[in-house]
Amino acid sequence: MNSKKIQLALLVFTLSLMGIAQNYNVKDYGAVNDGITLNTKAIQKAIDDCTANGGGKVLLTGGGKYMSGTIYLKSNVTLHVGNGTVLLGSPNYDDYATDTHKNMYKNEPHMNRCFIFAKDAKSVAIEGYGTIDGNGHRKYFKKGRPMLIRFINCNDIHLNDISLINPAAWTSAWLYCNNISVSGIKILSRVNNNGDGLDFDGCTNVSVTNSNFDNSDDSICLQASRPDKPCRNVRVSNCHFSTKWGGMRIGLLSRGNIESVTVTNCTFKDIQDSGLKIQQNEGGEMKNMVFSNLVMENVPRPIFMTFCQQRASVDTPEGEYEPLSRMHNFMFSNIVVDNTKGDKNSAFFITGFPNHNIEDVSIKEVQFIVSGGGTKEDAKKEVKEYTLETLGGWWPEFSKVGTLPASGVFARHIDGLNLENITIKTVTNDKREAVVLSQVKNYKVSNITINNKEFKL
């Protein structure tokens, strides 16, 4: 064999070794996929070797269930859970580490631990057509409930084509991260309480597409727990939401700005509370959001917006409250809502606060079917303000005020409101007005119909 052929053969051999070296199969580290063996050390060693050698894939493949406690993802590592394979959380709370940061909401230290954790990492990915199962059934977790995933101060993160099921608490918390891409995932979180889906806190440049959510709490949350860490440049598209609470909640944790958000081409079905919950509480500014091409079925409040004051962050001292800033520039268009199966508590509900208006809100091109049933007494009802006394230490939820005096839209404390091309139909007779505005200025109402009759304020 001549020298050129030898050199070529060596090059091919070297390249093949490099390709092999990029994959780290946890079985080679002693992991067993029997659903019983605790594989925390084996999986972590594979991750450590992968990042130490410049990065690659850590493979969990071959079917079965690899059980583990807390694992730490690191830079340039892709955690690949193959089709038919499960990464299973340990049912033992003591297998979850205590150095995985904390939940940023007040009164929730029981959710500080987590299953998969990354801090200060770059180019991290979780992928594959397999499943990550938190195994978070209530019978296992009585003294604390670990989250499934928590990332903090990470850059360039991908979460693709994976099923995330059965977390003991939230499915994921993303804190102060940048450049996040989520695509093709499925979340099923119904085995325990507070089963949020994707919670982005102080994150920038976020994309969530082509994903399905079935949650016991809010499916996607946008938050800002630190004044210096805004949540901005977020795109959500082509997703489906079903949940016991809110499809998307924007706010509550709102010490920093939350801005530049688009939500489009999404469906919402069988949601207990609200489709879009947009709630500013704490010092930050909330602005510049567009919501379009949405279809909702059995979603009592398609849009629920509140501007009020409440302590949400664990870092805000007890008894202290952040000042209110601004909420402005929101557009909602091309929305179809069918609440035929609901009750009279179905409406678009938008309320600012005395001396703190929500500014510049546009709602247009809406078809809205409601069950009706509102009474004359309901039509005369005075709706409570979301004061601290009304909240009683809790969040500004609909239950704090109850039935509204409008069958379609109730808006209060708004400066700059456009309602255009809205069709409302009630299945049964309703004694309330279709639209009620209270302390709203600079408004325009055009082409509103109720049961095929033109509505005039």
Task: Write the DSSP string, 280-304.
Answer: E-SS--EEEEEEEEEEEES-SEEEE
Question: Mean pLDDT across the stretch 434-446?
Answer: 98
Place of tokens 């944790």: 253
Q: For 279-310, what is each residue's pLDDT tens digit?
A: 999 999 999 999 999 999 999 999 999 999 99
What does the pLDDT read at residue 457? 87
Spatial distance between the Cα atoms of 447 and 454, rounded to a whole number of angstroms = 7
Question: Mean pLDDT across the stretch 396-400?
Answer: 95
Q: For 113-170, what is each residue's pLDDT tens digit?
A: 999 999 999 999 999 999 999 999 999 999 999 999 999 999 999 999 999 999 999 9
Q: For 8-37, what is each residue's pLDDT tens digit?
A: 444 444 434 444 449 999 999 999 999 999
What does the pLDDT read at residue 193? 87
What does the pLDDT read at residue 319? 86
What does the pLDDT read at residue 15? 39
Average pLDDT, the chain: 95
Spatial distance between the Cα atoms of 457 and 453, rounded to a whole number of angstroms = 13
Q: Which residues of 409-422 are buried (b: 16+ CB within 10 A; e: fewer)?
A: bbbbbbbbbebeeb
Give the distance from CA 207 to its chain's centroid: 12
Interior angle at CA 216, CA 284 and CA 270, nearest 5? 100
Report the share of the chain in percent with pLDDT over 70: 95
Q: Is the pLDDT of residue 105 over 60?
A: yes
Residue 407 in contact with residue 426, Cβ under 8 Å?
yes
Q: For 344-396, what is each residue's pLDDT tens digit?
A: 999 999 999 999 999 999 999 999 999 999 999 999 999 999 999 999 989 99
Q: Is the pLDDT of residue 201 over 60?
A: yes
Q: Is the pLDDT of residue 1 over 90?
A: no
Spatial distance between the Cα atoms of 168 and 146, rounded to a whole number of angstroms = 6
Beta carbons within 8 Å of 382's beta carbon, 6+ residues apart: none
Q: Is the pLDDT of residue 3 over 60?
A: no
